[in-house]
A = this chain, B = another copy of it.
């Protein structure tokens, strides 16, 4: 008799195949769930493999569009970067995948979920927190004995060693990338990209998925978005990570530019700290949490006027902003011009500075008094 039904996040690889077998051995019925979020995978082969290993059912789900729109776009709006460098690629995928997985579990009346993200990693936390948040009654089953040999392992565990050049899969080595830049125009509305145009070639993309894939392609071609970092995991240890985020890096540069162009300075400051908070929440697996919902809402609100077009050049691993324009710009050419006086009275600036100096002078007065008495 079955111990119950488990929905397993199955990748087609060795690790999750082992888990599938182990779950069967333990007496569970297993549904294999494969999420397509754009990875390079033979889904048919994976399905057959899962069936052969004894999966009762196999679900293969194309989550690419919802991944881009519901998960990547909010990260773009937030300028989400963890610890000043990591653009959170896979961290954002996890809640997207786990959400579908618990939907399947609820629909199939499964009490259990399982996944291959054990070990000492962040992905276990991201996966399980999402499951508990969206399906509080669910229980997680995982093989305590399993071990992993991820590419992070081995040589890279010594943070001094260079990353092998064949590690990167999406991006060309900048040394081998084209010696001609590609110039793109990205149009934004409400803080998300709505069209990308290749200036020279005239081609353009305007559905979220196509647009994002195209930026990955162009960024990848020019070796954009490679980083080698040591990061702080939620579970308290430091680990090394080698990441490549070509499309995300282009979008980060472009979004930062159009945002500063159209957003008030003080709104920007508050939004910046919300964006940092958002990044930590994503990294730590709290996409589905009350605070992350709240922060997403606030960030989304801040993007109402983030609209316009950024022109940029992609070349040899780098993104260069060339110019920008917007109907919602707060940039006032006349106000800033050196040749036009306009409403701006230099006396006001003197007064502004003197009032700002009141505090500083008082501080000096007290410090000076202290020194005199020494």
Using CB atoms and an 8 Å cutoff, list the residues of chain A in contact with chain B.
79, 83-85, 118-120, 124-125, 128-129, 132-134, 136, 140, 144, 147-150, 152-153, 157-163, 174-175, 179, 181, 226-232, 235-240, 256-257, 260-261, 264-274, 276-277, 280, 286, 288-291, 294-295, 297-298, 301-302, 305, 311, 315-318, 320-325, 328-333, 335-339, 344-366, 370
Contacts and interface: CB of A to CB of B under 8 A. Distances in A.
Contacts of A158: 333
A133 B358 contact: no
B363 A289 contact: yes
A265 B321 contact: no
A292 to B, nearest CB: 9
Given A261-B238, A270-B295, A360 B147 contact: no
Copies in the complex: 4
Contacts of A301: 294, 297-298, 301
A289 B364 CA distance: 9
A173 to B, nearest CB: 10
Nearest to A252: B84
Contacts of A346: 118-119, 144
A336 B270 CA distance: 32
Contact of A264 (B229, B353, B363): B363
Given A133-B360, A159-B331, A321-B229, A124 B353 contact: yes
7 A-B pairs closest in CB distance = A351-B351, A236-B358, A232-B265, A266-B291, A348-B351, A132-B357, A316-B316
A230 B345 contact: no
Nearest to A162: B322
A87 B333 CA distance: 24
A140 B294 contact: no
A160 B324 contact: yes
Contacts of A274: 270
A236 B291 CA distance: 13
A228 B363 CA distance: 24
B133 A357 contact: yes
B359 A348 contact: no
B290 A264 contact: yes
